[in-house]
Structure 1
Amino acid sequence: MDNQKIQIFDTTLRDGEQVPGCKLNTDQKVVIARRLDELGVDIIEAGFPISSPGDFNSVVEISKIVRNATVCALTRAVNDDIISAANALKFAKKPRIHTGIGTSDSHIKYKFNASRDEIINRAAEAIFFAKSFVDDVEFYAEDAGRTDNDFLAKVCTEAIKAGATVLNIPDTTGYCLPDEYGAKIKYLKDNVAGIEKVILSCHCHNDLGLATANSIAAVRNGVRQIECTINGIGERAGNTSLEEVVMILKQHPSLGFDTNINTKLLYDTSRLVSENMGMLVQPNKAIVGENAFAHSSGIHQDGIIKNRETYEIIDPRDVGVTESAIILTARSGRAALAYRAKKIGYELTKLQLDLVYFEFLKLADRKKVIIDSDVHQIIEISNLGLLAS
């Protein structure tokens, strides 16, 4: 039986760009959008057109160059927003308008000073209006994570009646626990009339470090679209990380899901986004961090040298990394030193290795990391009369 496809909705250029200091110009956005299209994402959220002339122009230009993905523009449940989005998307081969409104009691009372019935009416009217411009309309129930499930189901039911093709259930504040969020999705699957006609989507934030876990819980309970960003960038603590959810689904085939992502482009895409946004990727970031496939502990290094799968569940080549890195430090053992020495042309006997290792430890205690030139120097100091082949 074939795996079910999970659509990847990338919002790097919209939610990701909301990170302070990460503003992109139109040319940079076009470069990243072209790469996202090549990467295989299903939907590119290109921006929020009403927010500024620059954002409007970026959505226009991205719409012109994207060949495969759906191009999506964000709006509030406001007619002017929707008109702006429709105009910005006029060149898109597959346009989508993403409109919505807050549904939690907190948003209804403090943000909109409205009633629940008024929120439902505004949502339905916005969807109906957006449908007059495009066939594909996604509805977001902002702060769905903290919205009463019964009311959320009513909103979703009316959204479907108004013509929504996708229902986005955001954990806007990153508050939900995975079992709670998964149960919320299941509740909607069981209690929303016509839900089989639409795609359910998750949009999780990482305020408690649970964005990826919540997204996977959502998929296991009926979501078929994950909204995410490269490197997990986004408001506050960030969004669901694209590379994480994609590789989880790939590495756990028993879940029965797959994506259209060309995973061999993940590392390079991560670096492209990082360089353009000027936002470094933390070294210990899963999948694409500098240390994701680096080993410095002697026990780990020995295991990796003997069999990569001893300490790696992902082949680094699957995400575009050339090979695992053996980092020489004071915690490294003889096996790692012999491995690196061989890489640079020295075949050491056991006796020679013992002598070199003694000198290696003395230098490693003074330096954080031993590099290839240091290994050359150590072998020379050890007076072994060896020459690199």
Structure 2
Amino acid sequence: MSKNNVQIFDTTLRDGEQVPGCKLNTDQKVRIAQRLDGLGVDVIEAGFPVSSPGDFQSVVEISKMVQNATVCGLTRAVENDIKVAADALKHAVKPRIHTGIGTSDSHIKHKFKASREQIIERAFKAVSYAKSFVEDVEFYAEDAGRTDNDYLARVCEAAIKAGATVLNIPDTTGYCLPSEYGAKIKYLKENVKGIDKAILSVHCHNDLGLATANSIEGVINGARQIECTINGIGERAGNTALEEVVMVLKQHPYLDLDTNIDTRQLFGISQLVSDSMGIYTQPNKAIVGANAFAHSSGIHQDGVIKNRATYEIIDPKDVGVTESAIVLTARSGRAALAYRAKIVGYELTKLQLDVVYSKFLEFADRKKEIKDDDIHQIIEKSHLYREIISA
């Protein structure tokens, strides 16, 4: 059976850029968009064109450059927003307008001071107007995570009737539990009239650390597009991390779900985004963090040296990392020291290793990490130095 394809909608340049202090200029956005296109993402949300002249120009330039992915522009359910987005996207090979409105009772009452029926009417009008410019229109139901499922289904039906090709079901506040969010997608898949005419999309935030889990539950229950960002950047605690959901689907083939992403490019584009935005990626970040394939515990190091799969479920090369890292610390064992010593030119016998290891521990108790230069010093100070180098 062929795998079901899950489209990857990257919003690094729109939702991801909403991190305070991480504004990108047009050249930086175009460079990242070019890499995203080569990575194999299906949709690039290039910006929010009406928000500023700079964002408008970025969407224009990205639209001119991107050849493979759909280029998307965000709008509110406002005619001028939609018109400006359509203008910005006019050079795109595959343009998409992403429009929508809040659907939770909280948004309806406090943000819009409207009724549920008025929101449905505004949703229908926004999608209809966007459809007059482009064929591909995505509708977002903001705060869908806290929206009553029955009402959400009615909003989705109106959007489909107006011509929406994609229905975005955001967990805007990152509130949902995976079981709740999966059940919501399943409910819409089974209860929205005309759902076969549109793709369900998941857009999850990480306020409770559940963005990846919620996105995976969403696609398991029928969604076929994941909205995400490189490194999981985004407002507050961030968005679903592209590299995480892609690798979850790749590492669990029994889900029968896959993407078009060339995973070997993940580490490189992670570094590009981090450098461009000036955002430090935490060392323990899954898939692309500096420590994602680093081992410092002696037991783990011994296992990885004997067989990488003992403690690694992903081959580092699959995500663009050259190799696993054996990091020498006071917790490291003899196998790790022998492994690193061999790399820098010393083939130690068992007896030599026992002697050098005792010196190593003295060094390691004084330093957080033992580097290659330290290994040379440790061996040079050993009374077996001449014996070791003459071997």
TM class by smaller structure? over 0.9
The equivalent of 1:205 in structure 2 is: 205
Partner secondary structure for residue 100 of structure 2: strand
Matched, 1:266 2:257: no
Structure 1 residue 190: Cα displacement? 1.1
The answer for unaligned runs of 5 or more in structure 2 is: none
The equivalent of 2:110 in structure 1 is: 110
Structure 1 residue 383: Cα displacement? 2.4
The equivalent of 1:217 in structure 2 is: 217
Distance 2:339 2:161 in 1: 64
The equivalent of 1:92 in structure 2 is: 92
The equivalent of 2:64 in structure 1 is: 64
Q: TM-score, normalised by structure 2?
A: 0.99
The equivalent of 1:286 in structure 2 is: 286
The equivalent of 1:101 in structure 2 is: 101
The equivalent of 1:352 in structure 2 is: 352
Q: What's the % identity of the aligned pairs?
A: 78
The equivalent of 2:361 in structure 1 is: 361
Distance 1:249 1:259 in 2: 8
Query: 2:153 is aligned with what amino acid?
Result: A
The equivalent of 1:143 in structure 2 is: 143
Structure 1 residue 388: Cα displacement? 8.7
The equivalent of 2:46 in structure 1 is: 46
Matched, 1:192 2:192: yes
Q: TM-score, normalised by structure 1?
A: 0.99
CA contact under 8 A between 1:345 and 1:388: conserved in structure 2? no
Matched, 1:326 2:341: no
Runs ≥4 in structure 1, deviation > 2 angstroms? 386-389
Query: 1:127 is aligned with what amino acid?
Result: V
Alignment RMSD (CA, Å): 0.7
Query: 1:62 is aligned with what amino acid?
Result: I
Distance 1:185 1:383 in 2: 68
How many corresponding residue pairs?
A: 389
Distance 1:67 1:157 in 2: 32
The equivalent of 2:389 in structure 1 is: 387
Query: 1:184 is aligned with what amino acid?
Result: K
Structure 1 residue 44: Cα displacement? 0.1
Q: Deviations over 1:296-340 (max 9, x none)?
A: 000000000000000000000000000000000000000000000
The answer for unaligned runs of 5 or more in structure 1 is: none
Partner secondary structure for residue 13 of structure 1: coil
In structure 2, the CA distance between the partners of 1:388 and 1:317, relative to structure 1 (3 Å rule), is farther
Partner secondary structure for residue 99 of structure 1: strand
Partner secondary structure for residue 281 of structure 2: coil
Distance 1:312 1:155 in 2: 44
The equivalent of 2:120 in structure 1 is: 120
CA contact under 8 A between 1:228 and 1:242: conserved in structure 2? yes
Distance 1:290 1:383 in 2: 36
